[in-house]
Structure 1
């Protein structure tokens, strides 16, 4: 069976979903011995950087399924997984879904105190840790620690029970939000929901020319990490999953670039913070010629970062001499969130692209979008900013053990994503801010922090990244601080206040308290690297020195 026919067969398989990719691939006759997934750390007795086949993956997952089953874990049992390495996340996810259990995947960067509260709220049957997170044992979790992740691969694969048969609406995994405004929210995804975009798009779109090798710098414990793994397995692509951490909240530029040069991927997946990290480096000094596509999800990426990336890499094109690789790559921006289950919008940038200004393109065919006035529930006209409402088969079921938050995010049958956007006359959507971060300045004027950051970066090319924090004091006055993260070769003595004011425009500039250059650790971030602006606002109002 040809690759396209095989993909069509998978797309038509009504049983296939996020929780049973391995057995369904085997049932359809997939090549069990071709290299599929590579990790940059050891897996049981398999050395790092060794490609794993479907047969090896299945064997290692079956061992873990047997280990969990021997400890009484079964159907519908929530089990927290709080580990660092990508294989400890993915293999335990696959093993727990094998049993019909519900893995709750926790970002390894989540602080111990928040992690303990997350586990307590989960009300599961146990938790799996690794050596990096052994301190969690000292907390009252309400559930036992089932063991160390290093032990889970010691089960006997032959003793694994039969694979659970999932219903489309079965809860298949709990992931969590970025935790930018509170304790990270536990978000539950269904068997078909977390696979819906793969079925609708990834298995039906044209297969890229030649060999496809994808590198994931995404957090393995994020919904996007699970989707990336499953879509690579179903499409027959090779996938490298990074575990090495280069900093407290993200993989460093050097870690990612070294992996690209070593493994030669054709595509790289990351969050917006990934591209901010790469902006530290003169990319022209690194060999990135293998990369044809950069894939972003979560927050939309900044123009200044995208332009650096599309200037490197390569893409195939037909010439008089046949098909050759020429300089320049594509950047595919897919705005989404954990709750959305998959990016709902898509826009592609290339060399010479000019659709920026936080343009996120148009919705995927499976996603219905409405921009709403939340006071009336009615749609706003083109050109007017509204709250994003989404209807999509990819949507998460809701918030685990938190029906109050689940229903507060619904309005007239729409899921409110928490984003503010407008649609232009051409039908393209533009993201301006998170609703929780925008400030009404009165008289029809608004301060949109994300849009302000975009404009500052465009006006200040020596600024690698920035954070705009705005808060309204008790007297009704709005105060804004701008925190700049400079490029390594930038002049640290230069006063950029006038340039920042010009970028912000008169209404927002009138609220400006200060423009200050800060080190990275002065910006408060959550487990996935997103800025925790609500904490930054508290610091601003308290006047506690530099945020």
Structure 2
């Protein structure tokens, strides 16, 4: 089987979608011995770190589909899945899809209390969990057998490990999906509250891949390491993209910089998929001491990445380039940036960076061909170039809405656009720039705004010893104040504790990097530890929680000052 044959067959078959790429390939005999997915944990008798062929992957899926069917799982049943291992998440998705059920994947980093509240809203027929998550959930939301209450509103169907005992011959025939059939429920990051359950269909979660089947094969996707959270929609797309392009995909269960570097050196991928939080953690490592020579492509999705982190990555690795002497391997890699979300179903923008790139400033590039987007004012009117507004987007990749939450579904739509919650503008050349999340920006009056993400970008670009930066802005009485939190290179941290002059100079450097109206409201520039920055399950900073903390600290300081003044006055 040639790649051209596989792509042609899948592209011509309108019944192919996110729920049946694997079963379609198996039924049509499209590369049964081709290596497909590799996991960092064993799969049944298959060792970790070794690729499963298409036939071996199909066998593992049929084993689990049989076990699930024996436990009563049927078509259209929403089934929650929470496990630490990427293999468990992905294989459960494929097995449940084979049955026509609806896998609802939960990030393993969700705490048990949040998981219990999320499951009550989800109203799934059952939960598949590994031992650790099942125990944590049982402790957080104990069941009451006398009342028939499973605690979290969802009974435990099985420990995921038990699914390996199914009989593959008894697995039902694959369910025949329709384009609008629900195939997965993922969730938002939960940085502002309870994560939202995002629904994906057979067609929507495959729409971007179907578009790519008609394009030239991109460089660097033959052998890709996925550092994406396994429970995210981006991972489901990555799995189906690999199966559709006969590519190898290695999925790892952790997204930290050291874990990714170890996997790169061991597996030697051509490309790496990840979120901005992973690039930030990679950029703080000593990359020159690691073997990244195989990597020619870094592919970002979710929030757009920071220039400072991108520049450190593209200086590493090597890629093929076309010259008069033919294709040669040259030093340096490319970084494909963009902007996406669970609801968008795929990145809606793209821009490629190399060591020679100059278009930064949170530029997310231009929209993909399958995207119709606009920058909108609060009334839904389209804004012209240079004007900041909320991004509205239309695309076949979009989620149809939120599971069990039609109110939020309809509130996030205007003129058939989905409102992403991102504040952006476009320039005269059609490039789009991301300045902040709408919930994080602050109105300073007189037409001026404090955009926290854009301010962080400025600081990182101007201060090379700052690894990461978080701007916390809040109302303190009748004024707006901002704290700038810096996570430094360890050597810079040691210097900061020993040199008051360097600390003062860094503060001046940070203020000079900010727009004047933003610098004017900065209350303090603070060096903080990583543990001081609360993160959501996907690694995003929980700015809502930070604002509460800093406001509480400010209020406490004000109260203490008032109390001291009152005591002094009484003494006089």
Give the shorter-chain TM-score range.
over 0.9
Native 8 Å contact 1:137 1:145 kept in 2: no
Native 8 Å contact 2:220 2:297 kept in 1: no
Native 8 Å contact 1:409 1:416 kept in 2: yes
2:475 maps to 1:472:
yes
2:80 maps to 1:80:
yes
For residues 185-213 of structure 1, the C-alpha deviation after alignment (integer angstroms, 9 at most, x for no partner) is: 11110110000000012x22212468821
2:52 maps to 1:42:
no
Find the counterpart in structure 2 of residue 352 from structure 1.
Answer: 356
Distance, in Å, in 2 between the alignment partners of 1:186 and 1:259 is 31
Native 8 Å contact 1:44 1:150 kept in 2: no
2:176 maps to 1:165:
yes
Distance, in Å, in 2 between the alignment partners of 1:330 and 1:143 is 45
1:107-146 map, 5 Å: 107-133=107-133, 134-138=135-139, 139=141, 140-146=151-157
For residues 204-225 of structure 1, the C-alpha deviation after alignment (integer angstroms, 9 at most, x for no partner) is: 2212468821000000100001
Native 8 Å contact 2:223 2:270 kept in 1: yes
Native 8 Å contact 2:295 2:318 kept in 1: yes
The CA deviation at 1:131 is 2.1
Q: The residue matched to 1:480 in structure 2 has which SS?
A: strand
Find the counterpart in structure 1 of residue 432 from structure 2.
Answer: 429
Which of 215, 219, 227 is matched with 1:217 structurally?
227
For residues 33-68 of structure 1, the C-alpha deviation after alignment (integer angstroms, 9 at most, x for no partner) is: 121111111112211112101111111111111111
Distance, in Å, in 1 between the alignment partners of 2:324 and 2:443 is 57
Q: The residue matched to 1:84 in structure 2 has which SS?
A: coil
**TM-aligned CA distance change 1:506 to 1:211, over 3 Å:** closer
Aligned residue-pair number: 537
2:392 maps to 1:389:
yes
Which of 156, 179, 197 is matched with 2:167 structurally?
156
Native 8 Å contact 2:436 2:452 kept in 1: yes
2:518 maps to 1:508:
yes
Distance, in Å, in 2 between the alignment partners of 1:59 and 1:94 is 11
Find the counterpart in structure 1 of residue 274 from structure 2.
Answer: 270
Distance, in Å, in 1 between the alignment partners of 2:395 and 2:299 is 21
Distance, in Å, in 1 between the alignment partners of 2:28 and 2:218 is 22
Native 8 Å contact 1:280 1:488 kept in 2: no
1:310-459 map, 5 Å: 310-319=314-323, 322-374=326-378, 376-459=379-462
Over the residues paired in the alignment, what is the CA RMSD in angstroms? 1.5
With 23-32 and 73-82 compared, the bigger mean Cα shift is at 23-32
Gaps of 5+ in 2: 142-150, 558-572
2:104 maps to 1:100:
no
Bigger Rg over Cα: 2
Native 8 Å contact 2:18 2:203 kept in 1: yes
The CA deviation at 1:23 is 1.0
For residues 438-493 of structure 1, the C-alpha deviation after alignment (integer angstroms, 9 at most, x for no partner) is: 111111111000000000001110000111111123x3311111111112332333
Find the counterpart in structure 2 of residue 248 from structure 1.
Answer: none
TM-score w.r.t. the length of structure 1 is: 0.96
TM-score w.r.t. the length of structure 2 is: 0.92
Distance, in Å, in 2 between the alignment partners of 1:515 and 1:530 is 21
2:292 maps to 1:301:
no
Q: The residue matched to 1:470 in structure 2 has which SS?
A: strand
Q: The residue matched to 1:379 in structure 2 has which SS?
A: coil
**By percentage of residues, which structure has more helix?**
2
2:239 maps to 1:235:
no
For residues 4-55 of structure 1, the C-alpha deviation after alignment (integer angstroms, 9 at most, x for no partner) is: 2421221221111111111111233311112111111111221111210111
